[in-house]
Structure 1
Amino acid sequence: MAIQFIRRQLGARPAGGSDYRPAAKLRVPPELLDRHGGRVLDPVRAEAASGTRPGSTAYRPDVLLIPDDVLRDETALGAVRAVLDGEGIDVEHPEPGGGTTPRPVRLRARNGRDRDNVDSWAALQRLRAAADDPDTGPDRDVVRRITLEHLVFSAVTFTGTPWDTNSLVDRSYRRSPGGSARVPVAIAAAPPARGRLDDERFTRRPVVAVLDSGIGPHPWFDIHDRSTPPPAGGFISVLHEAQERIRENALTTGASPCLMDYWDAPVVSDALIRDVDSNTGHGTFIAGIIRQAAPRADVLAVRVMHSDGIAYGSDVIAALEEIARRVDRAQRYDRPEDMVDVVSLSLGYLDESPDDDVYTSHLAEVVRRLTEQGVLVLAASGNNSTSRRFYPAALADLPDVPGAGPGVISVGALNPNNTKAGFSNDGAWVTCWATGAGVVSTFPTDVRGPRQPEMADSHRAGLDPDDFHGGFAVWDGTSFATPLAAAAVANALIDVAAEDTGLSLADVGPETVVKRAWAALERCYEQYEV
């Protein structure tokens, strides 16, 4: 499989470039919006307090993200409530935590108002308009930090296939009679050897955090069923603190399905037909790519995505913040066992705002915190066949922070013949390319769907397109290019640490981590630069 790193032209493009333009209305299947209580912002009809026409995005219309410090400030929150009260909207006040973490806050209709008329975008415009009056309105800086709760999509897009927003690449990536790109395959291969830690140059395994749909059973990971957690010291571990934060978010918002643990399984399913969602197995597939390409690394799995490919912005932010806290503990108290070296994100969203607004968002802030800590962050460019920026991958546009690690590495997908995949997003903001089409990897062994093979009798059958008991599948998407690039970075961390004792993986001091991250990226440029 191929990997291509593009050396960033530092300072070539400042934040908030001039190529921002609203796009046509985003297309999201109605059943997904209904399941998650979502809505698509229409750029033609949407009002905007700033007068700037927004881009289309998907969001939760009864939720706003409000930072914890604002929720603790009675004066600031009171001013916000006063504006929304005038619109017939009540703000459900969750118990705030510490710091400045954005929390999902539920909006409710008051005085008999139709709940369907509650719209967080309209509420946000009222707040922004009110903040223009310095005498009677809420504080402008407070309002600036209140945002929509975006729906974040898997980078195999909304139906598990890369072509639902671009029919031009329809047939070339369909493999089964039902039109799916994801089908079971068989391979005759043992899991790649993990290597030993008895070499003083290889003192700790680099950890790749995968924020995705969770994990399922597979013999490569010594996870044989869902009755027990992953084995201690194994290839895959989980971050319980992040899962707890996600459960807390779900309790404050109420209506939509919630993620209760790290197991990859349909949240809403009809057991009678053994439903297989569009993104079932997504996280397990990604873990298998890393096992193949960087077997000496470890995977830290965090479930932020529902098996239908939808994640909530607050859950992604919360998981990233928990990783940043874990890295802070590792660096502050010299705890190498807590270190996270790489983050792989095969998800994202199209934002409604001009680029310079996105670059100061809650998501951008926590990603920036990670890169300042020296964590290498890789994100999928998306599968919409567009140059419109897909976040967080497009944060690769941000200039590097002095003294920090490398900025975001955004990853597009290649075909097996090294041409760019027809579904992959592209643009100057894409800084890495890796094979993402026709990829074979691990799949949960207990997944079997309702389809039946075309030919079947008592002795023979055709290929069952959704029976994955064999444990492997072939799939396409920038979702799968991203972990391949993350694996290359993890391998580079091992290599530079082995060559330079001053960059040992056992040393998790902030300065060493940042230097090691830059050295690893430079190694990737040397090996894979185009």
Structure 2
Amino acid sequence: MGPYDDAAHFLYEKGVVLARDGEEAQAVEDAVRAHFTATEGLVPDHVRRDGPRHNRTGVTRIRVGDPTEGTDTVPHALRALREAEDRQGRRLAARNHVVHIAVNACPSDEPVPVPRTQPANPAAAEGRYDADSAARVLVVDTGLVSDHRDYPLLAHTTGDVEPAETGADGVLRQYAGHGTFIAGILAAVAPNTDVTVRNTLSDAGAILESEFGARLFEAVDEGGWPDIISLSAGTTTEGTDGLIGLDAFMRELRAQRTLLVAAAGNNSSNARFWPAAYADLPEYADSVVSVGALSADGESEACFSNHGPWVRVYAPGERLTSALTGFAAPVPYIYQHSTYDACRFGFDYACTCRLPRRTGVLSEGRENTGAKPHQVMFDGLAQWSGTSFAAPVVAGLVAARMTARQEYDPRAARDGLLASATHSTEVRGVRATVLRPPTWSPAAAADPAVPV
């Protein structure tokens, strides 16, 4: 994963393609079976529907290979469909992508503990919570830690509790607290906000595209369509058409007044990251805003942030401070990835690729160096980086504008916020709009080591 390997920009399920229900699914099945019949070594009987044919997402899973075989037949199936797609003038099938929280499938950063006495960054804005006038924000993420209400800013936050914050060894699981961290940022930027966090991405922060659309519908059905959805997950793809698995949800979103605020992803790439990239499609530009991350000093894009004309705005996303756990008891965490001697994306500032220094259990060659992985203790607050956290900053700013100005329409609030923005920065030679919360402070360079 990253900017230098175009062949590894996305993950997908082997042996399965997605098609829209009805005639298109049948056309895909017939075309692939005919192709496999004429292709040596591929068995046409393996082409079959896999799962329900009709559901609210309007998507059919079609298995195009034997899952026990080592060969991945998806590329063969998609090649067989190109002529049929050219005739119909639209894409008929695509891979079943893995949608993952936007800290990269191999994260560029992991959380760092900070003292309880260190203030949140962004700090809590002035104002109080009022249930009658609060903006409603839905966070689709990893859920809440069980003791989240011990953190004052999250006292009225609701939603799903993560099913397992720690493993059998009592160590905090990777990505645990991700949704709680996001909720803390939202509550700090916009105190008069009803934040609901859903545990949609509880499986290591990832979900198959074929399941994601249905889970999004479940999330909005449970409490009704909110003012804002904050989503810090997505995937890159081969094309520029979006995700078949989200077609139905995105059409319904467009018909609502809800605003989707989506993270742009952390591959330091200009490859479109969906669903954030829907912001660049004319039919969805009104209902989606895509958010890249600023560096810790707020003066440029963060080294890891995706970029390109499809990214609508940049907000602080490096070394933010929020709640990772509640305050009931300290909990250990073991780093999975090591830092680098130099920024792996080629930037020359003290980025999170480099600092704070640490060794992780998944690092290549660790066993040859004698280095031991760092274990740290989290006692409530953490410092974390990613477009995952820039997105809720923008969601919070839109929510705060709605309540301050008594605006009913979150899309109009977004438009007013962007129109009144006074800051910009140069991202790869192009001026980009910047939003910074009034309570956000530039973060100092990290200490050279993580405390053990």
Determine whether 1:207 maps to 2:136: yes
* Distance in 2 (alpha carbons) for counterparts of 1:270 and 1:196: 35
1:73-222 to 2 correspondences below 5 Å: 76=27, 79=30, 82-83=33-34, 86=37, 87-88=42-43, 89-109=46-66, 115-129=69-83, 140=88, 144-162=91-109, 180-187=110-117, 195=128, 197=130, 203-220=132-149
2:158 is aligned to 236
Q: What stretches of structure 2 of length at least 5 have no aligned partner?
A: 336-357, 359-373, 425-452
* Distance in 1 (alpha carbons) for counterparts of 2:180 and 2:414: 26
1:264 deviates by: 5.6
1:475 deviates by: 0.7
Letter in 2 for 1:351: T
1:520 deviates by: 4.6
Contact 1:158–1:308, Cα closer than 8 Å, also in 2 = no
Letter in 2 for 1:301: V
2:195 is aligned to 299
1:62 is aligned to 15
1:350-429 to 2 correspondences below 5 Å: 350-353=236-239, 355=240, 357-358=241-242, 361-363=244-246, 366-399=249-282, 406-420=286-300, 421-429=302-310
Deviations, residues 453-477 of structure 1 (Å, cap 9, x unaligned)? x9xxxxxxxxx85322x21111111
1:311 deviates by: 3.0
Contact 2:231–2:263, Cα closer than 8 Å, also in 1 = yes
Letter in 2 for 1:396: A
* Distance in 1 (alpha carbons) for counterparts of 2:95 and 2:319: 36
1:338 deviates by: 2.7
1:281-292 to 2 correspondences below 5 Å: 281-292=177-188
Letter in 2 for 1:60: E
What secondary structure sits across from 1:115 in the alignment? Answer: coil
1:299-378 to 2 correspondences below 5 Å: 299-306=195-202, 308-323=204-219, 338-353=224-239, 355=240, 357-358=241-242, 361-363=244-246, 366-378=249-261
Determine whether 1:430 maps to 2:336: no
The two structures have a TM-score, normalised by structure 2, of 0.70
Contact 1:399–1:407, Cα closer than 8 Å, also in 2 = no
Deviations, residues 415-441 of structure 1 (Å, cap 9, x unaligned)? 342122222222222221111111111
What secondary structure sits across from 2:236 in the alignment? Answer: coil
Residue from 333, 340, 348 that aligns with 1:449: 333
1:442 deviates by: 0.7
Determine whether 1:466 maps to 2:410: no
Relative to structure 1, is the Cα distance of residues 271 and 324 closer, same or farther in structure 2, using a 3 angstrom cutoff?
A: closer
Letter in 1 for 2:231: L
Relative to structure 1, is the Cα distance of residues 426 and 520 closer, same or farther in structure 2, using a 3 angstrom cutoff?
A: closer
1:76 deviates by: 5.0
What secondary structure sits across from 1:517 in the alignment? Answer: helix
Contact 1:157–1:309, Cα closer than 8 Å, also in 2 = no
1:302 deviates by: 2.3
* Distance in 1 (alpha carbons) for counterparts of 2:260 and 2:382: 26
What secondary structure sits across from 1:395 in the alignment? Answer: helix
Relative to structure 1, is the Cα distance of residues 145 and 322 closer, same or farther in structure 2, using a 3 angstrom cutoff?
A: farther
Letter in 1 for 2:76: A
* Distance in 2 (alpha carbons) for counterparts of 1:78 and 1:438: 48
Determine whether 1:263 maps to 2:162: yes
Relative to structure 1, is the Cα distance of residues 146 and 388 closer, same or farther in structure 2, using a 3 angstrom cutoff?
A: closer
1:490 is aligned to 399
Relative to structure 1, is the Cα distance of residues 120 and 185 closer, same or farther in structure 2, using a 3 angstrom cutoff?
A: farther
Deviations, residues 172-201 of structure 1 (Å, cap 9, x unaligned)? xxxxxxxx553343236699698354xxxx
* Distance in 1 (alpha carbons) for counterparts of 2:247 and 2:150: 33
What secondary structure sits across from 2:254 in the alignment? Answer: helix
More helix by share: 1
More strand by share: 2
Relative to structure 1, is the Cα distance of residues 313 and 416 closer, same or farther in structure 2, using a 3 angstrom cutoff?
A: same
Contact 2:19–2:28, Cα closer than 8 Å, also in 1 = no
Letter in 2 for 1:412: G
* Distance in 1 (alpha carbons) for counterparts of 2:414 and 2:29: 49
Relative to structure 1, is the Cα distance of residues 352 and 481 closer, same or farther in structure 2, using a 3 angstrom cutoff?
A: same
What secondary structure sits across from 2:405 in the alignment? Answer: helix
1:444 deviates by: 2.5
The two structures have a TM-score, normalised by structure 1, of 0.60
What secondary structure sits across from 1:483 in the alignment? Answer: helix
Q: What stretches of structure 1 of length at least 5 have no aligned partner?
A: 1-22, 27-40, 43-55, 135-139, 163-179, 224-229, 239-261, 327-336, 455-463, 498-502, 506-512
